[in-house]
Amino acid sequence: MRIYERYFARQIYLTFAFVQFAFIGLFFFFDLINELNTVGHGNYKFSYAVLRVLLLTPSRFYEIIPVATLISSIFVFSTMASTSEYTIFRVSGLSTRMSLMSLLKIGVPLVIVTFVFGEVISPYSDQLSERIRLEALGSAVSTNFQSGVWVKDTVKDDEEGRNVTRFVNVGKLNPDTTIENVRIYEFDSHFRLNDVRLAAKGSFVAPDHWRLQNVTVTQLQSLVPNTFSPATALTPVYRSSVSKLPEYLMRSQLTPAILSVLLIAPERMSIYNLFGYISHLQQNQQDAQTYRIALWRKCVYPFAVFVMLVLSLPFAYLHTRAGAVSVKVFGGIMLGMSFQLLNTLFSHIGTLDTWPAPITAAAPGLLYLLLGLGALRWVDRH
């Protein structure tokens, strides 16, 4: 990097660290206050609340990286403009194009940090935080659902060589990924009900089996119609047989990773988990629009750092004296907040109107990129 690029990078990174520290402290305080309402329920103590909020910190850090980048870069460039420092750089031969390219270089480490937090640290810490909370409260993931969790499962060539479709009702999904009060309705390739299985408990056996315990199996068999007697509403068409098994090993496409999507919101899942769950929904012919949008947002979100840096550069061309820096920083906060709000708005509209997921995810960033390039062109000419 050139000398001025190192100077820009040092100023922006130091200010970025300070802004992130301030925002993280603020969010930590409010999140902890929010958790105090749960303290005292079950075994949920104050120490668990602090631990849960600490585990939520990586997600907060990930969420505000673009806004912190915008605020820090606006502060740096506004300070340079107020002291005529940036004017000296321009007189020395620093063109707008060179400044823009230098900013993009400075933004690469921030993009990498955003990707690492969004894919590795944040999803894991969010799931761990939710499991700690549920275990302390003695609760389960699905207790908020009156009928439990319903999941569709399609299996080709099962243990008996059949293609079956199952509708699985999990009454209780524990934080340790075990399931309780399980009901399984299995249909054949012609969507005729074959059997109903009730299991008291189940645990996953890698790579693709569930070990069900205390299983009650109700098998249904079609009866051949009696041609010698007229059919009536009371004429049986199925024969049922009930059997009980202490244990049953069932092959399934459902995995704890798929069921764990109930622990965290789609936008906080990793790209890998989102892609796996979308594939599962598509195989079972279910709507995956929400998760598709979340997947594309995760792919596009790190590059919002570049957009924020482009938006901040025009502030270096505003020739104002000291005293207006705070106004510009406030404007940067408003710009960042509007970007986050527009991003969320587009996600909801895209889900309702079934817009293409790539367009829904990329549109806010492209709009603000055009805004930044337009402002940069205007200040460069004037």
Summarised one tens digit per residue, pLDDT across range 298-310 is 899 999 999 999 9
For the record, the structure tokens of 313 come out as 């550069």
pLDDT of residue 23: 92
298 is a domain residue: yes
Amino acid present at 50: V
271 is a domain residue: no
Judgement on whether residues 228 and 190 belong to the same structural domain of the protein: yes
Judgement on whether residues 128 and 170 belong to the same structural domain of the protein: no
203 is a domain residue: yes
Judgement on whether residues 14 and 132 belong to the same structural domain of the protein: yes
Residue 127 neighbours by CB distance under 10 Å: 19
Q: Is residue 154 predicted with pLDDT exceeding 60?
A: yes
pLDDT of residue 278: 83
267 is a domain residue: no
pLDDT of residue 116: 92
Judgement on whether residues 150 and 121 belong to the same structural domain of the protein: no
Task: Let me know the angle formed at the C-alpha of 327 by 321 and 331, rounded to the nearest 5 degrees.
Answer: 130
Amino acid present at 166: R
Domain boundary among 242, 260, 278: 260
Q: Is the pLDDT higher at 314 or at 12? A: 12
For the record, the structure tokens of 170 come out as 């999990």
Nearest-10 Cα torsion for 241, 245, 251, 254: 100
Judgement on whether residues 124 and 9 belong to the same structural domain of the protein: yes
281 is a domain residue: no
- 3-state SS assignment for residue 199: strand
Number of domains present in the structure of the chain: 2
> Can you say whether the dihedral through the CA atoms of 199, 202, 205, 211 is positive or negative?
negative
> What are the residues whose beta carbons fall under 8 Å from the beta carbon of 212, sequence distance 6 or more?
182, 197, 199, 201, 202, 247, 248, 249, 250
pLDDT of residue 322: 45
Judgement on whether residues 150 and 202 belong to the same structural domain of the protein: yes
Judgement on whether residues 128 and 180 belong to the same structural domain of the protein: no
Return d(Cα 105, Cα 1) in angstroms, integer.
9
Q: Is there a contact between 304 and 310 (Cβ–Cβ < 8 Å)?
A: no
Return d(Cα 193, Cα 220) in angstroms, integer.
7
Q: Is residue 4 predicted with pLDDT exceeding 70?
A: yes
pLDDT of residue 235: 64
For the record, the structure tokens of 317 come out as 């061309």
Q: Is there a contact between 267 and 123 (Cβ–Cβ < 8 Å)?
A: no
3-state DSSP helix/strand/coil percent for the chain, to nearest 5? 60, 20, 25
339 is a domain residue: yes
For the record, the structure tokens of 58 come out as 């990586």
Q: Is residue 56 predicted with pLDDT exceeding 60?
A: yes
- 3-state SS assignment for residue 31: helix
Return d(Cα 350, Cα 97) in angstroms, integer.
35
pLDDT of residue 233: 58
Judgement on whether residues 38 and 130 belong to the same structural domain of the protein: yes
For the record, the structure tokens of 228 come out as 């010698």
272 is a domain residue: no
Q: Which residue has the tokens 């340079």?
A: 80
* Domain extent for 159: 144-260
For the record, the structure tokens of 127 come out as 């799931």
Which among 65, 73, 62, 94 is positioned nearest to 10, based on CA atoms? 73
Judgement on whether residues 121 and 27 belong to the same structural domain of the protein: yes
Q: What is the pLDDT of residues 216-231, one digit of tens each?
A: 988 887 766 655 566 6
Q: Is residue 176 predicted with pLDDT exceeding 80?
A: no
Arithmetic mean of pLDDT, 145-170: 74
Domain boundary among 211, 245, 260: 260
Long-range contacts, stretch 266-270, CB < 8 angstroms, 24+ apart: 266/290, 266/291, 266/294, 267/294, 267/297, 267/298, 267/347, 268/59, 268/122, 268/123, 268/126, 269/123, 269/294, 269/298, 270/118, 270/119, 270/120, 270/123, 270/298
Judgement on whether residues 121 and 16 belong to the same structural domain of the protein: yes
Domain boundary among 260, 279, 304: 260
282 is a domain residue: no
pLDDT of residue 14: 94
Judgement on whether residues 131 and 148 belong to the same structural domain of the protein: no
State pTM to two decimals.
Answer: 0.76
Judgement on whether residues 366 and 332 belong to the same structural domain of the protein: yes
